[in-house]
């Protein structure tokens, strides 16, 4: 069953308090090589049949209306993933 993956990230200019907290925790594990962390979201839209261009367009529409808030977030990826991929 194919899935459409949608990635949403906080806009670069928006402070990401959660990412900051994670960045603060990493050195406590001895992982000191990272300059920063940004936390985003990944959605997987499952498709029962075939992914048509119309369906992909619907996914893009979902990504920009419901799955992300354009004031604070960017949609960074809308991509079809086949079952055997990844």
Partner 1 sequence: MSVETPLIGDFQPFPSASAEGSLAGVRVGVVTFPGTLDDRDAMRAVRLAGGTAISLWHGDHDLRGVDAVIIPGGFSYGDYLRAGAISRFAPLMEQITAAATGGPGALPVLGICNGFQVLTEAHLLPGSMIKNNSLHFLCRDQRLRVENADTLWTSDYAAGEEIVVPLKNQDGQFVADERTLDELEGEGRVVFRYVRENPNGSRRDIAGISNAAGNVVGLMPHPEHAVEPGFGPDSSARGEVDLRGGTDGLGIFTSVLKKLVG
- Binding residues vs partner 1 (CB under 8 A): 10, 13-18, 21, 66-67, 69, 71-72
Task: Say how many CA atoms lie within 13 Å of 26 toward its Cβ.
Answer: 14
Give least dist CB 10 to partner 1, A: 8
Q: Which residues contact 38 (CB under 8 A, 6 or more apart)?
A: 9, 10, 16, 19
Give least dist CB 72 to partner 1, A: 5
Nearer to partner 1, 12 or 30 (CB): 12
Nearer to partner 1, 25 or 52 (CB): 25
Q: Parallel, antiparallel, or unpaired: how do β-strands 41-46 and 3-10 relate?
A: antiparallel
Give least dist CB 1 to partner 1, A: 23
């Amino acid at each position: 069953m194919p899935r459409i993956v949608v990635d949403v990230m906080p806009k670069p200019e928006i402070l990401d308090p959660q990412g900051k907290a994670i960045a603060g925790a990493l050195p406590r594990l001895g992982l000191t090589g990272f300059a920063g962390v940004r936390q985003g979201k990944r959605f997987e839209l499952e498709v029962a049949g075939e992914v048509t261009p119309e369906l992909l367009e619907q996914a893009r529409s979902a990504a920009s209306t419901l799955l992300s808030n354009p004031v604070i977030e960017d949609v960074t990826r809308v991509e079809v993933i086949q079952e055997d991929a990844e």
